[in-house]
Amino acid sequence: MAIAPLTPELLRAFPLFESLEQADLERLLERHLASALGEDQLLVQESDWGETLFLIRAGLAKVRCFSPDGEEVVLCLLGPGDVFGEMALLDEKPRSADVLSLTPVNLVKFSGALFRQLMLSRAPLSLAIAQLQSKRLRELNRRFAIHSADASTRLLNALAQLACLSQSGANVLSVFPALGQRELAAIAGLSRETTSRTLSKLRERGYLEETAAGMRLLSEEPLKRRCLL
Ligand code: CMP
C-alpha cells in the first residue's frame, strides 16, 4: 500500500495532533517509525510492556481480549486516523488488550516517552486524549447495550461500523473490505452459524451485496428501523 511520508502538516490533520505546534510535531516525527503490515498481524499483545503510541494511517484493526472460557471478545474496531497503545502510556501498566490487523495496515509508531512529555506541557493534547478515552467509553457502552439485541441488529451494527471506519469520509453505505465469516462473527459477538444465516438473510432481502471490491450495505432502512443510525 503506497502512502505519502508523514509530514507535520499531515500529522496535524489527525484530531489527536491538531493542537500541536509545528516544533512539537517535528519532534514527534524525528523519532517516528512507519511500517506496512499484512492482515491478521498482532500489533500489540495484551500483558506486554510497551512504550509506543500507534497511529493507523490505512487499514482496519480490532482490539480484542479473551473471556475466561477462551472465547474471543472484540472490544472495538479501529480505522484510519485512530490511535492505540495510549493506555499503557497513561497508566504505566502492561498492554490492556491485543490489537490485530484485520486488513493490510499502514502504521506509525511514536515514542511514548516523548508523547507523555508533551502531554505534561500541552494541556490541549491532554484534553484530546481525555476526549479520546471518553469517546471509547461511549462506544463501549453502545456495544454493551447492543449485546442483547437480535442477530440481525448485531450484524448490521458490525457491518455499518466497518463501512464507516473503512476510509476517511466513509458512511454506512461505503464499500468495506470483505472479512471472513469467522471474523464477522467475532466482531458481532455471534456464532459462525448464526452469522452465516444472518448474512444470507440480509443478502436475500437486498440489504447487502458482495463484489470484488468488498462488501456494502445497500440501504439505511434496516439500520434506521433498529435505531442504529
Ligand atoms: P494499550 O493498553 O496500551 O494497548 C492495547 C490498546 O487497545 C489500548 O492501549 C487502547 O489503545 C486499545 N483499547 C483497549 N481497550 C479498548 C476499548 N475498549 N476501546 C478502544 N480501544 C481500546
132: pLDDT confidence band, cut at 50, 70 and 90?
very high
Q: 83 CA to middle of ligand 1, Å?
A: 9
Burial of 190 from C-beta contacts in 10 A (0-12 / 13-18 / 19+): buried
- pLDDT reported for residue 65: 97
Alpha helices in 106-146 (DSSP H): 112-121, 123-146
**Residue with CA closest to ligand 1 atom 18:** 75
pLDDT at 13 over 90: yes
Rg of the chain taking only CA atoms, in angstroms: 18
CA of 65 to the centre of ligand 1 (A): 10
Rounded CA gap, 99 and 41, in Å?
A: 9
Task: Supply angle C-alpha 204, 189, 196, rounded to 5.
Answer: 30
Q: Mind listing the pLDDT tens digit for each residue in 30-77?
A: 989 999 999 999 999 999 999 999 999 999 999 999 999 999 999 999
Residue 139 CA: which ligand 1 atom is closest? 19
Confidence (pLDDT) at 89 = 95
> Of ligand 1's atoms, which has the minimum distance to the CA of residue 50?
3
Q: Distance, CA 53 to ligand 1 centroid (Å)?
A: 11
Q: Give dist(CA 118, CA 1) in Å, integer.
A: 31
Handedness of CA 59, 65, 71, 76 (dihedral sign): negative
Ligand 1, residues at Cβ distance < 6 Å: 44, 50, 63, 75-76, 84-88, 95-97, 99, 136, 140
* HSE of 141, CA atoms in CB hemisphere, 13 A: 6
Q: What is the pTM of this model?
A: 0.94
The residue whose grid cell reads 503506497 is 2
Q: Cβ contacts of residue 25 below 8 Å, gap of 6+?
A: 8, 11, 12, 17
Q: How far apart are the first and last CA of the chain?
A: 32
CA of 225 to the centre of ligand 1 (A): 31
